[in-house]
Structure 1
Amino acid sequence: MQAVLYVCHGSRVAKACEEAIAFVERCKAKIDCPIQEVCFIEHAEPDIETGIDRCVQKGATRIVVIPVLLLAAGHAKHDIPDAVQKARQRYPHLDFVLSEPFGVDEKMIQIVVERIAEQSAPLDNRSMVLLIGRGSSDPDTKRDMKAIAKLLQEKANIPYVDVCFLAAAQPSLEDGLQKAKDSSYKTIFVVPYLLFTGVLMKKIEKQLRTFSSSNRQWVLCNYLGYHPLLEELVKEKVNRYVATNKKG
């Protein structure tokens, strides 16, 4: 029997986990699959092992694992595959299919454009956008963020889009803000490229306050959140793998 396991990041902030669960529930309602479970990589329960166990207990013989993550980094490349590999040893009869994170996709660009458009400040030829990623030591994270920035600049006709990171990658948040401050752009739209609220948003807000006295207009946009377009992306991924299985 077919199952879908949604793997969310997890957070110590209860609201962030609640947002993730609510998102998965919306996805479940749009997907025709008899078994659908949610789990978390860290800081929340159930963990991936328990999520897989729950699928098996409900009769799963094939599990499509959907990482509810923005980019391919350590969690998607190591933590999730390692957990799946351990599960294969416990359940050798099970067929696992591991999907990819959201990645570089035009729907992601649409979400960023919407977050910018929500603000009252106009986006004109004196404006730039600073995308703030979570960060990772994995070079693919930096590569993908740069690709997203380039696509955003092209699709939304933005004069300049720059990228910085909250941890484990350069340029840092402080360096990114300083570069924007030193630029000729009068309005800087700061876009947290994050799925959920929490300590990272607080870090951005705190750092931004130290730059607010400069002769620039700093516009902090909302984090991406669990946007309806992400529900469409999840549905596309699930249907791709379920349809492949049905054809076989």
Structure 2
Amino acid sequence: MEAILYICHGSRVKEASSQAVNFIKECMKRQPNTIQEYCFLELASPTIEDAYATCVQRGATKINVIPVLLLTAAHAKHDIPDVLRKMKNHFPEVELKYGRPIGVSEKMVDILEERLLETKKMMTGESLVLLVGRGSSDPDVKKDLSHIAELLQIRMPNTTVKDCYLTAATPSFEDALIQVDSYPVKQIFIIPYLLFTGLLMQSMQKAIVEIQRASKQEFVLCHYLGYHPKIEQIIGERILELSGESAYVSDYA
């Protein structure tokens, strides 16, 4: 039997993990597989090891693993594959295929536009959009988020779009907030490129409150991505990629 194993990042914030579980359960409803399990890379349970073993115990002879991560960084390239290799050695009779993260997609740009529209504020030539990613030392993260910012810029030619990062990449979110004072703009729309709430979201909210006190510009914090139906569609595409003999299989597994 063919199983699907969804791997989420995990968070110390209980609400974030609950959001992830609720979303994965919605994804499961769209798939015909009898065996479907979710797990977390860190900070929450069940672990990858536990969920993988559960798939085998339920009768899986093949496990399609989907990393529910926004971009391809160290977690997708190294951390998850390291655990999967261990599980493959433990259950050598079970076939394993490892798929792609969500990655760059026009559907993700659709969501960004939706988050901007939700603010009910008019976008003008005096508006600036900061697309804020989690960040990573992996250069592919910056390359991919910069690409997504460029795609959003194409859709909004009269508005400036910039990418910045919360950790381990430049420009940092704090530096970007300081730099906007030099731009001839009145409104700064901030889109957290995060799947769920959590400590990073809380730190962003605090930083915006602080800088707003000393600025005449208006800072508008948009909703984080959330587990949107279009992300669910992308997850479905990643599952489909693992089907059949000509399936895409990640190079990292």
TM-score band, normalised by the shorter chain? over 0.9
Q: Partner letter of residue 12 of structure 2? A: R
Are 2:217 and 1:221 aligned? no
Deviation at 1:181, TM superposition (A): 2.2
**Deviation by residue 1:170-199 (Cα, 9 ceiling, x = unmatched):** 111111111222211111100110001011
Are 2:56 and 1:29 aligned? no
Question: Secondary structure in 2 aligned to 1:242?
Answer: coil
Q: Partner letter of residue 86 of structure 1? A: K
Structure 2 residue aligned with 1:238: 239
Task: Describe the shift of the 1:139–1:245 C-alpha distance in structure 2 as closer, same or farther (beyond 3 A).
Answer: closer
Structure 1 residue aligned with 2:114: 114
**1:128/1:158 contact within 8 Å kept:** no
Runs of 4+ in structure 1 deviating by more than 4 angstroms, as ranges, are 243-246
Name stretches of at least 5 consecutive residues in structure 2 with no aligned partner.
248-253
Mean alpha-carbon deviation: is it higher for 46-55 or for 120-129? 120-129
Mean alpha-carbon deviation: is it higher for 23-32 or for 236-245? 236-245
Question: How much identity, in percent, do the aligned residues show?
Answer: 46
Are 2:19 and 1:19 aligned? yes
TM-score, normalised with respect to structure 1: 0.96
Question: Secondary structure in 1 aligned to 2:63?
Answer: strand
Inter-partner Cα distance in structure 2 for 1:244 and 1:148: 31
Q: How does 1:1-248 map to 2 (within 5 A)?
A: 1-213=1-213, 214-244=215-245
Inter-partner Cα distance in structure 2 for 1:58 and 1:78: 27
**1:64/1:97 contact within 8 Å kept:** yes
Q: Partner letter of residue 50 of structure 1? A: D
Deviation at 1:121, TM superposition (A): 1.5
Deviation at 1:159, TM superposition (A): 2.1
Deviation at 1:73, TM superposition (A): 0.7
Structure 1 residue aligned with 2:250: none
TM-score, normalised with respect to structure 2: 0.94
Q: Partner letter of residue 229 of structure 1? A: K
Inter-partner Cα distance in structure 2 for 1:61 and 1:158: 53
Task: Describe the shift of the 1:41–1:157 C-alpha distance in structure 2 as closer, same or farther (beyond 3 A).
Answer: same
Inter-partner Cα distance in structure 2 for 1:197 and 1:243: 36
**Deviation by residue 1:30-67 (Cα, 9 ceiling, x = unmatched):** 11112100000000011111111010001111111101
Inter-partner Cα distance in structure 2 for 1:179 and 1:107: 29
**1:12/1:43 contact within 8 Å kept:** yes
**1:152/1:158 contact within 8 Å kept:** no
Task: Describe the shift of the 1:179–1:107 C-alpha distance in structure 2 as closer, same or farther (beyond 3 A).
Answer: same
Inter-partner Cα distance in structure 1 for 2:23 and 2:246: 25
Name stretches of at least 5 consecutive residues in structure 1 with no aligned partner.
none
The alignment's C-alpha RMSD in Å is: 1.3
